[in-house]
Each structure stands twice: as structure tokens, then as C-alpha cells.
Amino acid sequence: MASSYIILIFLLTGYCAAVGSEKCSISLNSAIHPITHPTSWTSPSGHFAFGFYQEGGGFKVGIWMVRKSQNTTVWTANRDDPPVSSNAALELTPDGQLVLKIGPGETELIANSSDSASCAAMDDAGNFILYNQHSEVIWQSFNFPTDTLLGGQSLPTGAELHSSVSWTNHSTGRFRLRMQYDNNLVLYPKDTLTSGIDAYWASNTCCYVQPVHFHLYLNFTGALLLLDNSGEYAVISDLDTSSVNHNSTIYRLILDSGGILQLYSHRFAENGDDVVSLMWTQPDNKCGVKGLCGFNSYCTMEDEQPVCRCFPGTDYVDSTNQFSGCERNFKEEWCRDARENSSSFTFKSIDQVYWQDPPYFQVTMEVADCNMSCLEDCDCEVALYDFKKGTCMKQKLPLMYAWTVPEKSFRAFFKVGLEGIEAANTNNSNSLLRVLEYKKIVESGNFGLTEELALRPFSYKELKRATNGFKEELGKGSFGAVYKGTLYRGKRVVAVKRLEKLLNEGEREFRAEMSIIGTTNHRHLVRLLGFCAEASKRLLVYEYMSNGSLADLLFRSERHPDWNERMRIALEIARGILYLHEECDTPIIHCDIKPQNILMDDFWAVKISDFGLAKLLMPDQTRTFTVIRGTRGYMAPEWHKGTPISVKTDVYSYGIMLLEIVFCRRHMDVNASTPEEIVLSSWVYGHFRDGELDKLVLGEEVDKWLLEKLVKVSLWCIQDEPALRPSMKSVVMMLDGTTEISVPPCPTAATV
């Protein structure tokens, strides 16, 4: 490590020295033009130029690598502005501003600096620099990368590269590379959340060094590194370039228009010819790039290139653009009953196609039954069958992130309208009858598939009417309140959460709950029925929990649940959290496990709720950095230490809550009889250590062996060091009695 660190410092300081000694060749009042000489300012070696390059029917300002075969653009100024005409001019003005003069009286700032430049230079690393009168750098293009990093260039924490539309259009494209604050380098489609659901490649360097942050650095020998300010680093790509003459080789990292991250080397000969080599690329699967194909289309490889094909029953939205997505090519009828529906449609299937969109229905059944179930379901538009698991998954369109996966045994059945289906709508009275009958079905709330419905979109007016103007409040959280409501003419009681806090935070919670609850299916997780996303209004509709929360049961009820009921509740909660941690496609950290977020249904079964603060991990990720979230008293110590969080964060919260379940009191009680009783964990540990746990449950019949077992589990869960805490799988096994439990050390929480 030490020798590597010395080399890195040499490379970094070597570059700084090169910049300091670079000849300041561009003076004030210098100008260049698109077609009139000079059209660019070149670097001393001639390998790079800054100026006008042709794009479309006009010109853009940028930097390119000068090559005999074809110049390669590496940076573009104001990339999303339209090209300018041949009458434009780029000028370093007498007052030290770098501006683009588009036409009479119309100028555009290229370099935004509070200081005035005295001169400028295009250096041999591909960096265009402005200097002040003290020869200090006041602006440089390296600080504002577009889709490319060059040798000696960094991507700071929180910054992004954005792909271009194409090789000939350098406007912002559809993909981004983000250097995250959790030290992960991640690829996403543009305009998506920074979550595991949308990510399609990651460096898996999260939490490599704590708590400092990395920045991405491409050095002059082609190594792609993550560095911090102390010299610690992680290697993304470490190529053997020992035989390469680095003085004549330029390295270039680009996020290409197809969402692939590629590292190239350009080896220049004395006559100016260059040999281009692809040194490294990620991801390997071009069809694994999420967002490459639009809605209702899937990616497949043809002649080693990704191609987007429409699902059966759909056509391209734009026939000239295969990436535009697809839309229905037949007219859909109102669905009146199963028999009519099945006679109006047929199926077309595709083998070995897969997507990650969550199904609204997932059950083990035979493939023929799966086919028929979808055909007779008004809401089902496609069924995905997994032959290995024998699982049928029904879904509605649109679908996204779909691709062919040869190694997976999937078959997708798409519902397609039969020929002549439009003829059935020619009779107006018949159409009106269908509308009225469908409205009657909706109002009754009986679709014939009560547990198989997809998420239903609601209007704000519907939900306002359902809640009687948001009159009966069931509870309030950090992002808004939950109200009781009725749908389908009072036949179904629901809980409506209205997000009311600042728009960006409310939007984040809305998206989090939609993406997380939408991908989960477990008997101990609350069920999301629908949503409203109308203008800035964001509401979520859940199944109603008639028996309130666990907090009501433990802390407010006149009659506490008996010992056996409390043991059942503790085990059901553990199983629900285990599902989130280990049984979902994407591991989920709830981040706010507490009795207020454990609801009880009509049969007193547990339902975990409130996923607005939850954090999704990458499929292979175990830890992550994120902003502090949760509820004081239930938050693990790592939240306050600036160290990464993991699923063990939920384990800690569960341990605190388990003590509350066992002893039917809050973890912190300032009105306790004695100071020793104020902090529950401290009070319990003292009696556990002294072998006197029975004194804490006077007046209640409990199994002393079971009591000690539950206290042991709790104390292990609230250990200060996450590595000492058990996984939720181990917790479930301990509660089930299938695993022996050793004596836990004193946790820090018990010494507060």
C-alpha cells in the first residue's frame, strides 16, 4: 500500500507541476470561428484541440482528441444547447471572460468564474484552463466532465458522467455514472432514483474506507482508481501496461450512448497515427443495461449487438427509433366477465424473456393454469411463468427493464386481441351497457379477483371523497398523516396516507413506498392497494388494519396480550423482517422498525408498515452510507458514528422492540419508580446478570426458560458492534428453538 501511495502522489503532483509549467498560449482578446482560421486552440503536442466542431447542421464548442482517422470528442460546452451557425465566435474577452458570441447582441458564457482570466491554455492532458494574473487556475474543463474522463482527471463524490445521445450527437443521453457518497461507483438510467432497483452495475466498493469519501481517478497509466484525500484507494481496473510507453499513450474512459462504461487506450506514433485498444468494459452484458429499451419492449442480442423488440400485441411508438418503446396495436374493450374476456383474446408467448417489474399476483401452479388464470383475469395483460419454481406471475402493462436471459427457464404469455375485436364496439347502446356494467363492478368492489388486483390509480377527488375530506385521522408520521376511508360505496375500508411534507422529501417517500411495497409479497407486510399521483399530490392507499398498532396494544391498552400472544407477535415480526433482508430480489433495510410501525389486522396478525424511510441495497451489496433516518431510541449506534449501515441496523431496532414486547413497557420511561428502571435494556440486563429476571414479571405466568431465551435474543440484537448481532434468520431460528443461544455480553445500550 505504501509504495502504491507514493506512486499515486508522484502521479498527482507530477500532473500539477505540468499544469503549472504549461505555456499560457492564449491571450486576452483572442478569438476563433467555426469556418474561418483559426477554428481551434491546440495543445503543445497537437493531440488535443479546443474550439468549434461540426454537429448536425451547425457547430458546437468542445474539446476533441486530434486523430488522423476521425477526431474523438471528449468534452462539450453547454451540451444541450442547439448548434450555432458559422457566424458565431468564441472569444477570451479583454475583461477575462470566455464567451460564445452567437449573433448580434447574443452571447453565452462558456466558463463561469468569479475571477477574471489573464490568459488560457489547452494542455496535453486534454484540459482547457483559465489562469488569473497570479498564474492560478480559476476554471478548467476537467472540473465539468460530460461523458468522458481522461488521464489525470477525477470524478468527485456526488458527481456524475452522462452519456451522449449518440456518437454524432453529444447532447445528454439516457445513462449516468454516479460517484456515490457511500463510495460505490454505480451506473443508472437517466432520471431514476439512486436505488438498487434502477442500478445495472456497481463497483461494490461501498464502505471500503470509513467515513471518508472516494473520488474516481483515471491515472496516466490507465489505472481506474477510487481515491481519498489520505491516499487510501480501491482499484476498479488495474491493467498491466508495463510494456506501454505512457508518454505516447492517452487513456480515455467513456460512458457510451448505449450505457456501457469503456476504457480505451490511444497509442500515438510519431507520424500522428494512433492505435486504439479497448482495455476494459462494464457491464459485460449489453442487454443488461436498464433503460436501453423503452416501455413494453425487450432487449435481445443479434450479431453481438443489442436490439430492442416489441412485446406481442404492441408496435414501436416511433417506428424510426427502436429504443422509443412500444404501445398497444389493438383496441381494448371493457372487461365484463371472465367468459367474454377469454373469448376476446388469445396468447402469444416468448421464451427466455425476463423483467424485474413486480407482479400483482404470484402463486405456484401449473403452466396451463397460469395461462388460463391470466386469460380470464380482466387485469392481467401478461403472465410470466418460471418453470424451475413452477411460479405464475401476473402483471399489467407497461413493463420496463426486460431482456432475454438464455440461462433462465422463463416463458412470457402476452394477451393479444383477436381480429375483429373492434367490431364489437360499433353498437353504441352495447358500448353504453358495457360501461354501466363495468362501473357497477368497480363500485361494488367485487372484481372476482380480490387478492389478485394490480395497484389501482386513484384520483385525488376519489380519495378526498373516500375519506370524507380527510376527516378521521388514524395516525401521523414525519411525512404526513394516515386517514380512514371507504371505497366501493362503503364496502371496503382502507387507510389513506397523504404525504404533506416538503415536496422533494414527500416525493422520495412516495417513490420509496411504491417501489418497495410494490416488489414485496408477504403475509406479514402491509398490502398496498393503490396510489394517487395527481400534480403535486401524493397519496397511498393501504389495506385497513382494524386493530391498530403494536404500540397501542403494548402501551395504551387496558389489557395487554398474554405471554403466548406476545411470543407469536415477536416471531411474526421477525419473519417479516427476515423476508425483507434475505428473501426479496433486492435486500431492503426498513430503517424504522418500532411498535408504531407494526400493525394488527382483523385476526391480530402482524403487518409491518411504513416503508418511506427504507433503503434498498444492490443485489450483492451488504452495507451502505445514507442520511440519518429512523426514530430515536430504536436507532443503532452506527447511525451516529458516520459508519455504514446494513441489515444489522434493523436487527438492533428489533432487539429494542423485543424487550418492549416481553415486558409491555417503553424502552425509555422517565416516570419510572427508580432511576435504574428508566432505560429498559439497562434494567433488564442487570436482572439477567444477577439471575433475577423473574422479578420483572411478577403477577404474570411465564415460562422462565422462555423468558431468559427472549432476553438473550434481545441482548444479542442490541450489541454495539453490528458484527456481533445475529442475522434475522438466526433470530427466527433462536425464537423457534432450533438454535442454542449463548450468554450475551453487556451491550452499550444497557449501560446508557
Q: Which helix (H) or strand (E) holds 160?
A: strand 160-164
Catalytic site residue from 357, 592, 610, 650 = 592
Q: Is 497 annotated as a binding residue?
A: yes
d(CA 568, CA 140): 63
User: Residue 439: CB partners within 8 Å, gap ≥ 6?
Assistant: none
d(CA 31, CA 641): 53
3-state secondary structure of 373: helix
d(CA 111, CA 117): 10
Closest-CA residue to 578 (of 595, 593, 597): 593
d(CA 416, CA 330): 8
Radius of gyration of the chain (CA): 31
d(CA 310, CA 408): 20
Q: Would you call the peptide bond into 82 cis, given omega within 30 degrees of 0 as the criterion?
A: no
Closest-CA residue to 614 (of 580, 583, 585): 580
Residue 87 burial by CB count (10 A; 0-12/13-18/19+): exposed, middle or buried?
middle
| Distance from the Cα of residue 32 to its chain's centroid | 44
Kindly tell me the sign of the dihedral angle through the C-alpha atoms of 226, 589, 632, 503. Answer: positive
Closest-CA residue to 605 (of 728, 542, 700, 522): 522
User: Residue 673: CB partners within 8 Å, gap ≥ 6?
Assistant: none
Question: Rounded to the nearest 5 degrees, what angle is found at the Cα of 555, between the Cα atoms of 501 and 698?
Answer: 155
Beta strands in 456-522 (DSSP E): 456-457, 473-477, 480-487, 492-499
Task: Give residue 26's identity as a one-letter amino acid code.
Answer: I
| Category of 180 on φ-ψ map: left (φ > 0), alpha (ψ -120 to 50) or beta | beta
d(CA 586, CA 581): 8
Cell reading at 553: 396494544
d(CA 388, CA 652): 36
43: Cα within 13 Å, side-chain hemisphere: 20
d(CA 469, CA 401): 39
Place of cell 393503490: 530
List phi, psi (to 5°) of 430.
-65, -40
Cell reading at 291: 433503460
173 in Cβ contact with 165 (< 8 Å): yes
Q: Is 592 a catalytic residue?
A: yes
Q: Which helix (H) or strand (E) holds 192?
A: none
Total residues found in the chain within this entry? 752
Task: Give residue 249's identity as a one-letter amino acid code.
Answer: T
d(CA 521, CA 305): 36
Cell reading at 256: 457510451
Q: Which residues are catalytic?
A: 592
Q: Which residues line the annotated binding site for ATP?
A: 497
Q: Which residues line the annotated binding site?
A: 497
